[in-house]
Amino acid sequence: MLLNAIGLAMLAGFAACGGGGGGNDPGPVTGATIDISTTNRDSVAHAAVTGVWGLTLGTMAPLATGSSGSGRSMSVWLQSQRERVAGAVQRERAMAVIGPIVEPCLVSGSRTATWNDADNNGVLLSVGDVLTGVFDNCQDVAGETTNGTMIITVPSATTLRMAMDQLSFDTTRHAIRLTGSVRLEDVSADTVQTTTEGLVTIALTLKHLAPAFTDTVTLQEGFVTRETRGNGETVSTFDGLLDSTAARGVVRLTTVTNAPIRQFDAYDYPYTGMLQVKGKNSMLQMTVLSADQVQLGLDADNNGSFESTSTVPWDWLL
């Protein structure tokens, strides 16, 4: 089952992660509340990328620093975390102990795993299980710090539910925090759909920009991501509403029909695809030109033509 393959990786880092949020629930939003203009275009573009890649399986954006280019893929980091947490649980399971199990991270800090094997079958992430991961200033790579908690529950053989609390990932380039709950469902043998349950809030600081860019992006209930993995590639689609503090309102984000976001595992960023961000009577089209660049096309009056276009590097967006 694909969910079993990714469950611990999600637990171990959801590398665009953790915390923030709080305050009064603003209630459901039925549509866009702002228009997109030259004034808020950049904020909307940052928010769109923050939202969709905060909700993916972790293969889409290089939030870790790494040794080449601007960063290595999160999937590499997630895979290593998955193996370490799973290894800790399985070693202790042989001694009939299922936690809390505390292990030091490779550089500094610690990770703690607790496994409630509800059916006592010894199979990690079987139906009814609850797996909790807690990270305390965990560094497996110098300069990359994880904090916070994720709780995975398994309602059925094809569904995982993940609740994230104060889960954060901090590097020299980014600081990202995520809070909320998502449901992951096996659509097919190679496809997983992720849906927000209630509001999911992602707080972002892009430290590498001058001045640093900050925003709080809130994915509304029912925001959906669908990812298909195979042949060293991930193909993703997105649909839902997101609220951006920096852009001062809500927009709808969708993938253009027949132009999903595609990324090779070996690349830091996607290499093709189109996203549309729709305001009340306006639209920003984000066209992936390559694994290095994205074109931003602004249709400020929704007449079907772009008043302005510009090409920006992926490293600027995220």
Average pLDDT over residues 15-20: 32
Q: What is the mean pLDDT of residues 8-36?
A: 50
Is omega for the bond preceding 104 within 30 degrees of 0, making it cis? no
pLDDT of residue 239: 94
Residue 86, pLDDT score: 57
- H/E segment holding residue 275: strand 273-278
Q: Where are the domains of the chain?
A: 2-22+31-317
Question: In terms of DSSP H, where are the helices of the chain?
Answer: 2-12, 41-54, 74-93, 314-317
pLDDT at residue 85 above 80?
no
User: Cα separation of 192 and 57, whole Å?
Assistant: 9
pLDDT class of 186 with cuts at 50, 70, 90: confident
Other Cβ atoms closer than 10 A to 309? 11
* pLDDT of 268: 82
Could you give the CA distance from residue 135 to residue 257 in angstroms, rounded to a whole number?
39
Determine the distance from the C-alpha atom of residue 297 to the mean position of all C-alpha atoms in its chain, rounded to a whole number: 24
pLDDT band at 173 (very low <50, low <70, confident <90, very high): confident
Residue 29 — very low, low, confident or very high, per pLDDT cuts 50/70/90? very low
Q: What is the average pLDDT value for the chain, to the nearest integer?
A: 80
Residue range 189-212, pLDDT digits in tens: 888 888 999 999 999 999 999 999
Say what the pTM is: 0.81
pLDDT of res. 118: 82
CB within 8 Å of 60: residues ≥ 6 apart: 52, 53, 74, 234, 236, 261, 263, 269, 270
- CB count within 10 Å of CB 232 equals 10
Confidence of residue 305 (pLDDT cuts 50, 70, 90): very high
Looking at residue 176, its pLDDT comes to: 85
Q: What pLDDT is attached to residue 24?
A: 38
- Confirm if 277 and 258 have CB atoms less than 8 A apart: no
Judged on CB neighbours under 10 Å (0-12, 13-18, 19+), 95 is exposed
Rounded CA-CA distance 67/280 in Å is 42
